[in-house]
Structure 1
Amino acid sequence: MRTQVGIIGGGPSGLLLSQLLHLQGIDTVVLERHSRDYVLGRIRAGVLEHGFADLMREAQVSDRMDAEGEIHDGFDIAYDGKRHRVDLKGLTGGNTVIVYGQTELTRDLYEGRDRLGGVVVHNAEDVTPHAFDGNGSPYLTYRLGEAVHRVDCDFIVGCDGFHGVSRTSIPKDVLKEYETVYPIGWLGVLSRTPPVSKELIYVNHERGFALCSLRSQVLSRYYVQCTLDDSVEDWSDERFWAELIARLPEDAAATIVTGPSIEKSIAPLRSYVAEPMRYRNLFLAGDAAHIVPPTGARGLNSAASDIYYLYHAMVDHYRKGDPTGLDRYSERALARVWKGQRFSWWMTRLLHRFPDANDFDRRLQKTELDYLFSSQAAMQSLAENYVGLPF
């Protein structure tokens, strides 16, 4: 098989890049090691910054997002038992976010690829990139059952996540990794219940962080901070709801509707960046290159900014013969990635209770929250990062 761009990973990043390039007449093949049902079964982030929403529109897969997505003009931060609103729209001159589940977004991208006849190979095992170092023409190999297949291409893009093969294929003396692992996790529950609030509520509480989120007006997503020693089996539905209610401000606790969990999982928190995001003819995008704590809703959105830069760079290369965008991809993508890292780190430190925190740390945290809501400039900084910095 021959294509122009070989993409490893059939999640949102890989599918979005494939769709955008296809619309510009650039051929792609996407290799995904799981089945489509498995990919669509993953429960992930649901807050889209306005730049990501615009990319979905450019990719011609935004109809359901625009019809069903929840437009949020702001969100609440609760501490000391009181809710304080962050007016995203007012503080940023009209920008908002869209709450739309990653599962639905991925479904839309799959339907877009199907509509255009895009090539997405599922259950592709042992995917391996070859000759991307400039010694020969790049190609990918993969296995379907007992048969080994080959895809020749001009470039390889790794959108295969933190545990994928792409990043680990870059020589160790080239790759620089930055990481911090937080000593806490998030226990998340999805329930078929109406959300407790029309907008998200982030909670700083002495018992630990909590978040009230949603996927629709009949589907809610809730989180509580837990320890890394916890397992899902430790948390019955009854224990989860009791703990969540104990952390919420009184007005939310009094009106929350509880119900059986549809999905329950624990996610550890880490910050991670790999540099560079390009090694010759191999490019990294999304979780293959960087991970953030979910606190600031930057993970999926940081991946979208990678795709923005890479998509435009590929178009300039193929349509104009201009390699500048490809040459500068890593530099440009990392500049925005690190800003997203800073914001996620700051939100995480602001809202969680860390087991090693002393009285001084806790007092500083409260002072930071008090300052945030006493300063228009501080709130504006939070808001402009949350809705998405310019590409």
Structure 2
Amino acid sequence: MLELLTTHAEAPWLPWAVQYFFFIGLAAGAALLLPLALNTGSVWHPWRDRLALILGISALVGPVALLADLHQPARFWHFYTQLTPSSWMWLGALILPVFVTLALIITLSLLRTHLRFEQPWLKWWLNLPFWPQGRLLTCLVWLCALSAVGILLYTGMEIMVVRSRPLWHTGWLPVNLLLTALLALVGLLMMLECLQPRGQNTALLRRTLVMVLAALTVTMLLWAVTGHWQDSGSWQEAQRLFVHFPFWRHLMFLSVAGGMVLWLLAVWRMNSSLSSFDLLPAGLAILCAWGFRWVVLMNVQTVPKYGAGLYHLDSQMLSSAGYIVAGTLGLWLALAGAVWALLDNSGVRHG
């Protein structure tokens, strides 16, 4: 019966897109905090180098996943030969290279001061005068933060503008993408501090985690209240899925339960000293941010634009999703491990 009522179509968004939105969100969140961390009097200053590390590596891994998500990656250059200013994806193709270039320059400029090499040519390369520093570096960091705003705006808007999918077509979606990116960033900083402690005061991360959770809770409540009051398509579709489809009902219950557990852990550990137990809220924060992107980009595509019933994610796609997640995560960890090894060999411990 479903085959008669619904015409199946291949999903335009692949699991690669989930990884792109996750890693580019991490990079954009780090870019937004880095101007504060560059100020020696800021409470974020002790986290400067780790923010730079996350910024540079995530800004590299994200576009790799994006290219893989394009059904014909070799045609990415068409973005630059066909002018379509009305397309958010086209605008993103202009913003992304600027953001990645600035992110890499800033990361290398900040981390190179910690590197010590015996080879003369590497010493020469690290001491070249073209490396930005002082006011120039500060200007580049602020430009990177500005381009990060553009990244967050275009990634949210290119999903939101799809009117045929009511769950996407809401102004609260870009806000949630921003807040969950910050949630993942705070969770990752806390996880790094648990694994490689530097004796930093983690109270800032705990307060920030609670503030981000509060902002997400308020956003969810505002979406529900305004959706019910205005009878928006997004709210109507969420109600329909909740009432008629057990899968979506369980998914929504799971989301609320995950949020409540994270809230309890964050409040409970608010004034506690750092311990290995903090890996739990840190990991859960990262998982919730990633899971939000999976639900938005993959599960929403199981809802037909026109028709009855639900599509099922192809088993082959789900099996390949495991390789995609493992591959991109492995690439991120490999790059982080390489940088860590360079810093460690240069005498920087727990950087």
TM-score (norm 2): 0.28
Question: Which protein has greater RCO, CA pairs closer than 8 Å, 6+ apart?
Answer: 2
Instruction: Point out the structure with the larger strand share.
Output: 1
